[in-house]
Every structure is written in C-alpha cells, then in structure tokens.
Amino acid sequence: MAETINQWAVITIVLSGIALVIGVYFIRTGNREAHMRAMLTASALATVFLVLYLTRLGLGYEKKYIGPYRGAYFALLISHIILAAANLPLALGALWNAWKGLKAAGNLGNITAPAAAPYFRRHRAWVRWTVPVWLYVAVTGWIIYLLLKSYGEVIKGG
C-alpha cells in the first residue's frame, strides 16, 4: 500500500509542477483568471502530495540510497529538504497576499485599486522567491524519486 501511496504522491507533485509552470505562463500573458486557477490547482496538488508523503512516512515506508555518487546524491537531497521546508511558508505568503489583494480589489480586473495594490505588490515579491524554490523542489524531488527507484532499498515496512 505504501508503494502505491508513494506513486500517487509523485504523480500529484509532477502535476503540481506542471500547473505551476502553466500558471506562470498565464500571468506573463496577462490572463489573470487562468493564472489564479492554475496556481490554486498547483497549490491543491502540492497539498495532496504533502498528505500522501506524510502518510507514506507514517506507514514506515522509506528507501535508503545504495547507488553510486553518494556525495552528489546527499547534496541534492539536503538542498531539496531545506528548500522544501522553506517552500511551504513562501507559498503560504504568496497565497495570503493574493487572497487579501483579491478581497480588497473585489475582482481580478481591479487589482490596481489603492486598497489592493499593496497586497499584489507583496504577492509579486513573494513569488519571485516562491516559484524558483517550488520548481527546484519539484524537479529535485522527481530526480530523487528516480534515483531511489533505481538505487533504493526499502528499509522499513511497505
């Protein structure tokens, strides 16, 4: 069961990364509504991933890396863990400011309203850090998954 949960976790985080990239595309092309939907989708999928990942850990399913280039693997893993931990508050800060800005604006066509503009400026400031961190965490997570699929050994339950 834990292996199945692990596979679904990977699927959700891959889809989250794709939704994130699509959301960035939409905002760069001026489609605010599609951007908002894509980013909410990315956030929801990332939340599902987190629940699945923690469930898998709770079931005691872990893999130990037994492959080559252990130093490079652990450097990748450590950077992934640190930035994954940082990504949650970054994403929450970005979402909070977008939500407060939208609430103050009343609709996406009014984001430059004086009451909304400061929130959207803060939202943009947060996402300048959040998006690269989120993408790094997603991509390194996929790499770690593939490395463990090839060079991993289950060390508990599963």
Tokens 């990239």, located at residue:
21
Residues of the chain with pLDDT under 70: 156-158
Sign of the alpha-carbon dihedral angle for 118, 120, 123, 124: negative
pLDDT number for residue 154: 85
The closest of 137, 155, 142 to 81, measured between CA atoms, is 137
- The CATH number linked to 140 is 1.20.120
pLDDT number for residue 156: 65
pLDDT number for residue 157: 53
105-130 pLDDT, tens digit per residue, is 999 999 999 999 999 999 999 999 99
0.75 cut: is pTM over it? yes
Sign of the alpha-carbon dihedral angle for 120, 126, 130, 132: positive
Domain count, the chain: 1
Q: Which domain holds residue 14?
A: 2-154
